[in-house]
Amino acid sequence: MEIILNRIRKSKFFNIILNLVGIVGLDKVCVRLMYLWIEKHPTDQMKDSLKYYDEHEKEIIRIKELLADDKSRKVWRQAIEFRKTMNYKEHPGKENDQYFVNDIIKLEPNEVFIDCGGYDGATSLEFMRRCEGKFKQIVIFEPDYQCKPMLKKNIPEDKRIKVIFKGVWSKTTNIRFISSGDSASHVAECTNIDSSDLEVIPVIAMDECEICRDATFIKM
């Protein structure tokens, strides 16, 4: 069952259906029902999460203390509890403005915005709108080749905007990847995947990317 649920969650078809039912406001109902089932039937992934969080409790607390505001610390705690239990009541929820929370994020004219996972460019476009066009640099990373036409169509020609068709990773290398052109795209961690679904993509470490050295805002 766990394998089936993981396949559903990563399925391009499931994501299309979820978008369609979202039009009539039923997407959250579908997601909550799925998580309710998982909560009652813990997967191996959940058990591994429990073990991981227990073994790294000190590091988790230390990271929480590095966060700058109470709201972020609360979301950090809720996110971990949700991943451990899949109890939807612990889910931190979504801000209406997912990346640009009004009472936390204050944009300045000299921002260097790094968009890791550009998809169709919507987040970068929203950043530009909120900055009223006053920014220093935007760097967009996107590894999924199916997203290239959307990015090229939506992102305006501007010498301050750089689109890099690579993924972001802990080091500069090549990794196995499954492209789908939507949120189901993901790194291929398993070895028992049909090779016809796989491709090898270039990934880069931001620390090794000169254009990212002055980053002020990283969306990942």
- Per-residue pLDDT tens, the chain, 220 aa: give them: 444 445 555 555 555 655 555 555 565 666 667 667 766 776 777 778 888 888 999 999 999 999 988 888 988 998 888 888 777 777 777 656 788 987 788 999 999 999 999 999 999 999 999 999 999 999 999 998 888 899 999 999 999 999 999 999 999 999 888 877 666 677 886 555 555 567 889 999 999 999 999 999 999 9
Residues 142/165, Cβ–Cβ less than 8 Å = yes
> Do the Cβ atoms of 185 and 144 come closer than 8 Å?
yes
CA dist 58 and 64 (Å) reads 10
Q: 93, 94, 95, 132: which is closest to 111 by C-alpha?
A: 132
Cβ(125)–Cβ(156) below 8 Å: no
Q: What is the pTM of this model?
A: 0.68
Rounded distance, CA 116 to CA 76, Å? 20
Q: Is the torsion defined by CA of 171, 174, 48, 219 positive or negative?
A: positive
